[in-house]
């Protein structure tokens, strides 16, 4: 078996004098595709937008925004969509609670207007940090109505606003209807300052959440587990793959780790490094995204440096193989389009300077029983010999073939 591109990558969105980063893709329960993209600079408070395709990615609607900076989304019953913002702050009246922006909508209903409301998370173990300590951007007006409402005034200083620090990355719906999600942040008792992945649950479609446990404790592991993906395997277990020690560019230390749960996330196995069974390639280093095909086969994307896809035909997470290098495929595509070699995507100034290449954060979604759709951003991208550089969003389909 192997992963085979169905088509050459195509540009589905681009801008000449702006930036597009970190795509996320969801196959909603109404069968449409929804794509979220950050549209500002690569910083913590850059806002996001989303586009919807009702024809399986062939055409896309106009950009919209239901929350300022989309963190993750989840399909609810009756085609309802839940979206969670990335930025939450501690409620001064209830310090153990973090409050975020949220939105609920029905994308398939003509003229639907999203319901926007606050999302409250009871997070007693999360470390709070003042806005003044942020080193990756400063908030725009999008977040001030939330913070003003919680504080009851509009003259707070950056030392009074406490960022909650939980980044939610993945969720599933349990059999009883509860949402189970994973988010990462700093534990308030952390002595080493490592990230920890927490388990949170919601029984009301995302309006309120409760911290229910720790999935991977960074201090105990001596590492930084953070960006995670979670799926249910065909044998009923939950499977999680995660970015691990992601603050380093040393690939030996940034190998993706994975773990399993047999009790719906109450307990987890100890995280262990991922390995391929057919090569020495090490899956690393950011934002793994896993999907389950109809026959139980697992497909996963990850990147930086590079863009990669692997699969596991056993559906257990123990037989990863068949790595497909999408960066090499993209450079080959540019060569076919007449782009000079020195202008094709490349990391020109070292592994950390993604502004010359891509965030290498891949979005992944299923497209039938044996195919996945892959989306990624490309910075300073030149599509053909006569094109000017753009910040682009690229898409292709990849099929699993015997």
What sign results for the dihedral spanned by CA atoms 86, 327, 391, 66? negative
Cα angle at 397 between 395 and 398, to 5 degrees?
130
Least Cα distance to 227 among 238, 217, 241 occurs for 241
- Please report, in tens digits, the pLDDT of each residue of the chain (402 residues total): 999 999 999 999 999 999 999 999 999 999 999 999 999 877 888 899 999 999 999 999 999 999 999 999 999 989 999 999 999 999 999 999 999 999 999 999 988 899 999 999 999 999 999 998 876 667 777 898 889 999 999 999 889 999 998 999 999 999 999 999 999 999 999 988 899 999 999 999 999 999 999 999 999 998 999 999 999 999 999 999 999 975 444 555 689 999 999 999 999 999 999 999 999 999 988 999 999 999 999 999 999 889 999 999 999 999 999 999 999 999 999 999 999 999 998 876 666 677 888 999 999 999 999 999 999 999 999 999 999 999 999 999 999 999
pLDDT of residue 280: 93
CB neighbourhood size of 340 (10 A): 10
- Report helix, strand or coil for 167: strand
Q: What is the largest CA-CA distance in the chain?
A: 63
Interatomic CA distance for residues 321 and 275, integer angstroms: 9
Interatomic CA distance for residues 201 and 75, integer angstroms: 15
- Report helix, strand or coil for 149: helix
CATH 2.120.10.10 fits 2-401, yes or no: yes
Stated pTM of the model: 0.95
Taking the alpha carbons at both ends of the chain, their separation in whole angstroms is 4
Q: Which residues contact 147 (CB under 8 A, 6 or more apart)?
A: 89, 156, 161
pLDDT tens per residue across span 153-198: 999 988 999 999 899 999 999 999 999 999 999 999 998 889 999 9
Domain ranges (residues) in the chain = 2-401
CB neighbourhood size of 332 (10 A): 13
What Rg, from alpha-carbon coordinates, does the chain have?
20
Strands 286-292 and 21-27: unpaired
């Amino acid at each position: 078996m192997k992963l085979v591109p169905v088509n050459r990558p195509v540009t589905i969105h681009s801008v000449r004098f702006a930036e597009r980063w970190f795509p996320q893709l969801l196959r909603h329960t109404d069968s449409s595709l929804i794509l979220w993209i950050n549209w500002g600079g690569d910083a913590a408070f850059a806002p996001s937008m989303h586009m919807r395709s009702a024809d399986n990615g062939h055409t896309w609607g106009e950009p919209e925004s239901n929350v300022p900076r989309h963190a993750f989304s989840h399909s609810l019953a009756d085609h309802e969509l839940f979206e969670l913002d990335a930025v939450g702050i501690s409620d001064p009246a209830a310090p153990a609670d973090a409050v975020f922006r949220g939105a609920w909508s029905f994308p398939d209903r003509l003229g639907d207007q999203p319901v926007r409301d606050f999302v409250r998370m009871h997070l007693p173990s999360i470390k709070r940090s003042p806005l003044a300590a942020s080193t990756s951007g400063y908030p725009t007006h999008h977040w001030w109505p939330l913070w003003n409402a919680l504080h009851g005034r509009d003259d707070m200083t950056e030392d009074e606003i406490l960022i909650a620090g939980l980044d939610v990355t993945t969720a599933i719906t349990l059999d009883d209807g509860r949402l189970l999600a994973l988010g990462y942040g700093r534990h308030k008792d952390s002595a080493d300052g490592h990230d920890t992945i927490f388990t949170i649950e919601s029984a009301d479609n995302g309006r309120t959440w409760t911290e229910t446990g720790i999935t991977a404790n960074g201090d105990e592991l001596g590492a930084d587990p953070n960006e995670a993906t979670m799926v249910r395997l065909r044998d009923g277990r939950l499977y999680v793959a995660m970015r691990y020690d992601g603050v380093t560019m040393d690939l030996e230390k940034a190998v993706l780790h994975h773990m399993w749960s047999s009790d719906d996330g109450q307990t987890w196995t100890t995280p262990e490094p991922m390995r391929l069974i057919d090569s020495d390639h090490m899956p690393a280093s950011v934002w793994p995204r896993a999907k389950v095909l109809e026959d139980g086969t697992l497909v996963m994307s990850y990147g930086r440096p590079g863009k990669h896809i692997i699969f596991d035909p056993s559906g257990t997470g123990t037989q990863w193989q068949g790595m497909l290098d999408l960066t090499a495929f993209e450079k080959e595509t540019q060569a076919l389009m007449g782009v000079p070699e020195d202008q094709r995507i490349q990391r020109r100034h070292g592994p950390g300077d993604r502004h010359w290449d891509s965030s290498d954060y891949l979005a992944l979604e299923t497209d039938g029983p044996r195919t996945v759709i892959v989306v990624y951003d490309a910075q300073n991208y030149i599509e053909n010999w006569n094109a000017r550089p753009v910040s682009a969003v690229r898409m292709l389909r990849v099929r699993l073939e015997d």
